[in-house]
């Protein structure tokens, strides 16, 4: 499973890229607004750091979405255009996909919505796990259902588990068979963490320092 960060914060993306574990970024209008930058400028900057950068459309009608999608796709070869799972979004996505634009169908909450995305040759489908959990549904079960349906149908659209809120969502996405998990930077940081890793390092370092004390060095050299 590939790991993406779900942020438009340039410093966070640069740090995550530096760690060598992420291979893509997802953004949405909320995250762009939080970054306090103009959409085009920020997406272009992010595309210089990493491939597979999802950038979201904000118009609603099919023809407007097609024009907007073409414009966003022209920003950089690494851009993937996000359209919402609505009749207009899917119809526009079909036209754009036919022109060779990579499409990420977003705001997906059911297997049926994922089948609609597959029907237009979407590159990614983004089931929103946390938002389903928020309303008392099982977000990971939807990811698992999409993965199973795609497998049975031989569909090549990649399942991008989104709206992940904590490290267990990442583990569960992997076990459900997601192709990609996109997560806030904080969750990526949390993936590294375990108290036994911290205490283990502390102990190894302490023992190592003991071997560097003059007495220990003397003993080893037989003095």
Contact between 29 and ligand G3P per CB under 6 A: no
Site for ligand G3P (CB under 6 A): which residue of 108, 124, 182, 187? 182
* 82 among known catalytic residues: yes
Active-site entry in 61, 62, 82, 102: 82
Closer Cβ to ligand G3P, 51 or 201, answer by number = 51
Contact between 163 and ligand G3P per CB under 6 A: yes
Q: Using alpha carbons only, give the angle 66, 72, 74 rounded to the nearest 5 degrees.
A: 100
Alpha-helix runs per DSSP H in the chain: 10-19, 29-35, 39-47, 62-73, 87-98, 111-119, 129-134, 139-153, 167-176, 185-192, 195-211, 214-220
Question: Stretches 41-49, 145-153, 160-168, 214-222: which one binds ligand G3P (CB under 6 A)?
Answer: 160-168
Of residues 116 through 135, those in contact with ligand G3P by CB under 6 A are 128, 130-131
Residue 49 contacts residue 85 (beta carbons within 8 Å):
no
CB of 184 to ligand G3P, least distance (A): 7
159 — alpha (psi -120 to 50), left (phi > 0) or beta? beta
Active site residues: 82
Footprint on this chain of ligand G3P (rule: CB under 6 A): 6, 26, 28, 128, 130-131, 162-163, 165, 182
């Amino acid at each position: 499973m590939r790991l993406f960060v779900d942020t438009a914060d340039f410093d966070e993306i640069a740090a995550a890229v530096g760690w060598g574990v992420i291979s893509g970024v997802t953004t949405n209008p909320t995250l762009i607004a939080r970054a306090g930058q103009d959409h085009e400028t920020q997406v272009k900057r992010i595309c210089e750091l990493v491939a597979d950068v999802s950038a979201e459309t904000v118009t609603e009608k099919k023809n407007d979405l097609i024009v907007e999608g073409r414009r966003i796709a022209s920003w950089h070869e690494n851009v993937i255009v996000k359209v919402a799972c609505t009749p207009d979004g899917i119809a526009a996505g079909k036209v754009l996909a036919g022109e060779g634009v990579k499409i990420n169908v977003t705001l997906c909450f059911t297997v049926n919505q994922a089948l609609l995305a597959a029907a237009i040759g979407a590159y990614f489908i983004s089931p929103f796990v946390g938002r389903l959990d928020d309303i008392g549904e099982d977000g990971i079960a939807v990811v698992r259902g999409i993965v199973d349906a795609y497998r049975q149908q031989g569909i090549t659209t990649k399942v991008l588990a989104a709206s992940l809120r904590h490290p267990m969502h990442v583990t569960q996405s992997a076990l459900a068979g997601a192709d990609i998990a996109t997560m806030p930077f904080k969750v990526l940081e949390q993936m590294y963490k375990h108290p036994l890793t911290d205490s283990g390092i502390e102990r190894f370092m302490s023992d190592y320092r003991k071997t560097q004390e003059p007495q220990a060095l003397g003993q080893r050299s037989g003095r």
